[in-house]
Amino acid sequence: MIDLRSDTVTKPTESMRRAAYEAEVGDDVYGEDPTVNRLEEKAAELLGKEKALFVTSGTQGNQIAALTHCRPGDEVIMEASSHIYIYEVGGFSALANVQIRPVPGINGAMNTVDVKNTIRAENIHYPTTSLICIENTHNLAGGAVLPLSHMQEISQLAKENNLQVHLDGARLFNAQVASGISVKEYAKNVDSVQFCLSKGLGAPVGSIIAGTEEFINRARKWRKMLGGGLRQVGMIAAPGLVALEENINRLAEDHAHAKLLADGLANMNGLKVENKVETNIIIVNVKETKHTPETFVEALKSKGVLAGVFGLDTIRFVTHYDVSREDIDKALIAVQEIL
């Protein structure tokens, strides 16, 4: 099967499996796992933040950020198709007891004037706006890279209004590779950042959140409360270290494959590629074919290609480590045969 459903499906590489096997470990709740400590130091250094924390998933990282930044009853501004708003099971309200204020965006970026107008004034009736969340790359906007200038504007606005900014950077390294702007440069504009080791970077488990030492000290307690205080966790942190050492620059290959696939699809009658394809995600409208997204995806499956149903008229392909150039050619042939 050529699995183009998501970049979460990657299997750990040989060097990741070896690193897991050979990992030096200790009890991480006591802060004694040397492999986790190395991973957290390396991640903090890459992001230019004081401290980092290894967490079980991107979702857990984002939830911990809300718990650490906000107080119950606060309001959090974010783009209306953010992963946090759409796909995190309502966790911000259920766990952090905050209210999300969604602001529609274009290519994943909110209009900063809209954000400004959404920040609550001091009024007895209003919740307190305490946090703005942004997402880079933006998943539902098709892996769109959030412009650095936009992040700078959001950062400025937040400073002027005494708000914190959290970056859901599940695929922040894809943004770095696509734009040439370092994750450190992006992260300068936010108070906390989450990135996933287990997406395009290919590790089997885990995410990182980073911020000031004081923020991470408090985040560590929330992680414990959520059941994320793990023990000899160097076994799963070791592949994360390998991901950071070996797999960042190769994301360019995934982006090149995505472009090839997108160009091939765009040339086929009845298909429309809906996004600009800046990174590794392709959204394709199938409305003009005889298929619905569901039947299209079923037909692809019968030809050995997996894709995801995305919207009412769209399907999604995501390139990653386990998809080769040859697989892209085969996937294009499969699509052509279906049409």
Quote the least distance from Cβ 162 to ligand PLP, whole Å: 26
Beta carbon nearer to ligand PLP, 47 or 196: 196
Stretch that binds ligand PLP, among 31-39, 54-62, 252-260, 317-325 (CB under 6 A): 54-62
- The two three-digit tokens of residue 250, written as one number: 């190769």
Binding residues for ligand PLP, total number by CB under 6 A: 11
Binding mask 132-151 for ligand PLP (x = CB under 6 A): ---x---x------------
Tokens 């600009």 sit on residue: 276
Stretch that binds ligand PLP, among 52-60, 103-111, 120-128, 222-230 (CB under 6 A): 52-60
Stretch that binds ligand PLP, among 13-21, 51-59, 257-265, 286-294 (CB under 6 A): 51-59
Q: Is 57 in the site for ligand PLP (CB under 6 A)?
A: yes
C-beta atoms surrounding 270 within 10 Å: 12
Q: Is 83 in the site for ligand PLP (CB under 6 A)?
A: yes
Where would I find the H helices in the chain?
14-22, 34-47, 58-69, 83-87, 91-94, 112-118, 148-160, 172-179, 183-187, 213-225, 234-246, 251-266, 293-302, 325-338
Quote the least distance from Cβ 205 to ligand PLP, whole Å: 9
Beta carbon nearer to ligand PLP, 59 or 280: 59
User: What's the one-letter identity of residue 110?
Assistant: M
Rounded to whole angstroms, the Cα distance separating 148 from 13 reads 32
Of the candidate residues 163, 170, 251, 281, the single one contacting ligand PLP (CB under 6 A): 170
User: Site residues for ligand PLP, window 198-257 (CB under 6 A)?
Assistant: 198, 207
Stretch that binds ligand PLP, among 53-61, 159-167, 260-268, 324-332 (CB under 6 A): 53-61
Q: Is 59 in the site for ligand PLP (CB under 6 A)?
A: yes
Rounded to whole angstroms, the Cα distance separating 229 from 227 reads 6
Alpha carbon distances (Å) from 27 to 31, 53, 209: 6, 15, 20
The closest of 115, 114, 112, 85 to 100, measured between CA atoms, is: 85
Sign of the C-alpha dihedral, residues 75, 77, 80, 82?
Answer: negative
Task: Give the residues across from 106 on adjacent strands.
Answer: 109
Beta carbon nearer to ligand PLP, 133 or 286: 133
Q: Is 174 in the site for ligand PLP (CB under 6 A)?
A: no
Binding site for ligand PLP (CB under 6 A): 57-59, 83, 135, 139, 168, 170, 196, 198, 207
